[in-house]
Amino acid sequence: MERDPDEGMLGWDETVFRNESVFEIDFVPETFRHRDSQMQSLTYALRPAVRGSRPLNVLVRGPPGTGKTTAIQRLYDEIGAETRDVRTIRVNCQVNSTRYSVFSRLFEGTFDYEPPSSGISFKKLFGQIAEQLVEDDRVLVVALDDVNYLFYENEASDTLYSLLRAHEEHAGAKIGVILVSSDPTLDVVDELDPRVQSVFRPEDVYFPVYDEREVVDILRERVDRGFNEGVVTAPILDRVAELTAQSGDLRVGIDLFKRAGLNAEMRGSKTISIEDVESAFETSKYISLSRSLQGLSDSEATLVRVIAEHDGDQAGDVYEAFHEETDLGYTRYSEIVNKLDQLDLIDADYAEIEGRGRSRSLSLSYETDAVLDRLE
C-alpha cells in the first residue's frame, strides 16, 4: 500500500536534506556572519603577502566553535583567487603535534607529495622547503591550527623559532605565521621561549563566543541551505539555538541539526520534532569531548581509561596502575596528566593528604560512560 504524501511521511527514496554537506563541521559557508572585524584584522595582517612582502604574524584566540578555522580558510580562498604568488598552508596541530610533523605537512604542501618517512633530517627537510620558496619567489603563510597542542608537547617554541628565523638561514625566504589557539587558559606569548618572544610580535585577533541571537542567525542560514522547505519550524530552530548557545560551541548546533534530521528520517517524517532534537543532543553535546579523545596517542588514551577505573584516586596510586599497563616512567606519566588536564579531559586537583603532604587526585571531567564509549 502506497503512503499518502499528505500524511507527512517520507518515502524510501526521499530525504529531509537539500544539501547534507552543509552540516559537516568543516563546511565553509558562502556568507560568514558576525565576524567582520576579525576578518578585517586578518586581511590587514596578510595584505603585504599579496604584494610579495612578508606578512604580519597573527595570534588568533577564542574558544572552540567560534569560527577561527573557517575565517582562516575563507581568507586563504580569497588569497588564492587573488594571486598564485602566495602559498597558504594550514596545519592541524592536534594531529601534527611535533616540529618535525608540522614541517612534514609544510613539505607536502610545498611539493604536493609527502617527504620520505625516514632518512631525512629536520634540517634537510626545512632547507628544501625554504629553498623552494626562494626559487619560486613565493610568500608562505602558515596557519598552525590548534597550536595549543604544540604547547602541550613542549614543541611550540622550537617550531615557531624555525619558521620565524627562516630568512636568516635562507636569504629571500618570506614566511608569515598565524597561530590559532582554542585554549582560553593558555597565554601563548608568555609561554614561548624568550628567544621566540623577541621576534614574534603578533597582531591579536580574538573570536568571542556567539550569543544566542547570532547563533540563530547562523543556524537559520544553514537550515535554509541544508534542509528542504518546512523541515525545521521556528520553535525547533529556537530550541537548537538555545542548546548551542548554552554549550558555547557553534559546532554543537551544526552537528545537532544533522543528527536531528537523520532521526526524523528514521521515523519516516518530513519534519524534525522536539524529540528528534533532544535525542540528538545527547550525542552532539559531546562533540568537543569526541574531538579531544580522537587526538590522543595510545598511551594517553590508556591513562584516560585507567583514571576512569580509579576515578578520584591519588596520582601515585593511578600511576601504579598505569605503569602496570604501559611500563612508562613517572616523568612521562606526569606529562600526560598535565596534557589531559589542559585539555579539560580530567581534573587534577591538589589536596593536603595526611602523612603525604600535597598530592593530586585525578578524576574525569565528563561522565565515565560518555568517555569510555568514545574511546572504543
Cβ(44)–Cβ(229) under 8 Å?
A: no
Say how far apart CA 186 and CA 352 lie, in whole Å: 27
Task: Reduce the secondary structure of the chain to three states and give it as a string.
Answer: CCCCHHHCECCCCCCCECCHHHHCCCCCCCCCCCCHHHHHHHHHHHHHHHCCCCCCCEEEECCCCCCHHHHHHHHHHHHHHHCCCEEEEEEECCCCCCHHHHHHHHHHHHHCCCCCCCCCCHHHHHHHHHHHHHHHCCEEEEEEECCHHHHHCCCHHHHHHHHHCHHHHCCCCEEEEEEEECCCCCCHHHHCCHHHHCCCCCEEEECCCCCHHHHHHHHHHHHHHHECCCCCCHHHHHHHHHHHHHHCCHHHHHHHHHHHHHHHHHCCECCCCHHHHHHHHHHHCCHHHHHHHHCCCHHHHHHHHHHHHCCCCEHHHHHHHHHHHHCCCHHHHHHHHHHHHHCCCEEEEEEEECCCEEEEEEEECCCHHHHHHHHC
Cβ(32)–Cβ(70) under 8 Å?
A: yes
Say how far apart CA 222 and CA 25 lie, in whole Å: 12
Task: Answer yes or no: is 222 a known binding residue.
Answer: yes
Cβ(184)–Cβ(150) under 8 Å?
A: no
Task: Answer yes or no: is 149 a known binding residue.
Answer: no
Task: Answer yes or no: is 70 a known binding residue.
Answer: yes
Task: Answer yes or no: is 165 a known binding residue.
Answer: no
Task: Answer yes or no: is 67 a known binding residue.
Answer: yes
Pairing, β 58-61 against β 203-206: parallel
Task: Answer yes or no: is 339 a known binding residue.
Answer: no
What would the grid cell of residue 38 be? 576579525
Task: Answer yes or no: is 210 a known binding residue.
Answer: yes
Say how far apart CA 272 and CA 327 lie, in whole Å: 51
**Annotated binding-site positions for ATP:** 66-70, 210, 222
What are the binding residues?
A: 66-70, 210, 222
